[in-house]
Amino acid sequence: MGFWKTLFQVCSGTEIFLRLTDCRLGKALLHLLILILLLGVLLAWGHSCRTDPEIQTVCGRLFSEIGSLQFTPAGVRTGRNPDRKQHYLLDDRLRFDYYPGHSLAEADQKDWNTPYGLIAMDNGLIFWMENYLGSGKGSYMIVPLTLEQNPMKSEMIRTGLTGEKIFRFLKSRMEYQAGQKFHKLLPEVTGEQVSEYLKACFKLTIFFGSLFNMILLTGMSLLFFAALHYVFSFPSERRLSFRQILVVLTYASFPALLAGVLYSFFMIPLISPQTVFFIVYFIYDMIVFRKIRLVLNPPNVSPDDNDI
């Protein structure tokens, strides 16, 4: 059965789940991975549609203050006041911090109080994001763009960092060290170029962050509910094997994942998308397995029940 047809059927009712018990577990997991990849693309595209115009606006506002970002032998410098530490709150969600030389101090961490931020230092730029989709206050994801001598050496996206870990990364990797050489990508960059960089960083962060969250969330839920169903089913009943339970739970997670992703576009701050996922998953799981149990173990009908 094709992916799209299966997706439609598992989201439109419970009739298909008895047939899905004969499906291979590998195929079910492949369908789950395809769905997660598609939802990651949807999240990145959907949220960027809202943020891209804002990034364009705030970058224009920022570069009207700093002039430009220049790549000098000492590293990244602003066009105006290049030797002075600078901070700009671009809106209530995005800030820009500039730390030339060894001006970054541990006390500067307290200023990183917005969901997103851009930090410029000698060795390049870092885009950081906190608490995306309720993943945890004080937990950050960063996307570094460094200007080290080897232009082919790239920094990987880093997740699960505390403010202290970001501080240590900035001090060790982003400050100019004596004798250090930088690869100059351009003599200087404009607000438009930084805007495009931030848009790309935002899309990548949303995509990879959502993949990690969905895989972790779904995987833990599958194992937890599978163990519950297998351990607490009645021995006298006809019941599914552990593999069949995993297959059914895998496909039962599809509506929950869709609900959590769609909810993220209209999120109420008091309820996270993870909570929506668990609520929908729990309810759908109960409905599906009740139907399967009734089919495998139909209620006994006494002779009196057939009397008219």
> What pLDDT, on the 0 to 100 scale, is given for residue 151?
47
**Alpha helical stretches, state H, the chain:** 3-12, 17-20, 25-66, 163-169, 191-232, 242-264, 273-296
Query: Does residue 270 share a domain with residue 223?
Result: yes
Task: Name the band, by pLDDT with cuts 50, 70 and 90, for residue 133.
Answer: very low
Q: In what order do the strands lie in the sheet with 140-146?
A: 86-89, 94-99, 116-121, 124-130, 140-146, 158-161
The residue out of 155, 189, 223 marking a domain boundary is 189
Q: Is 74 among the domain residues?
A: yes
Q: Average pLDDT of 141-168? A: 76
Q: Is 64 among the domain residues?
A: no
Query: Does residue 280 share a domain with residue 221?
Result: yes
Please, what is the average pLDDT of the chain? 84
Total domain count, the chain: 2
Q: Is 56 among the domain residues?
A: no
Query: Does residue 76 share a domain with residue 178?
Result: yes
Query: Does residue 282 share a domain with residue 224?
Result: yes
Judge whether residue 85 has pLDDT over 70. Answer: yes
> What pLDDT, on the 0 to 100 scale, is given for residue 249?
94
Q: Is 77 among the domain residues?
A: yes
Most confident of 169-183, 241-255, 285-299: 241-255
Query: Does residue 87 share a domain with residue 139?
Result: yes
Q: Is 54 among the domain residues?
A: no
- Roughly what angle, to the nearest 10 degrees, separates helices 191-232 and 273-296? 30
Owning domain of residue 120: 69-189
Query: CA–CA separation, 242 vs 228, rounded Å?
Result: 11
Q: Average pLDDT of 231-236? A: 69
> What pLDDT, on the 0 to 100 scale, is given for residue 98?
95
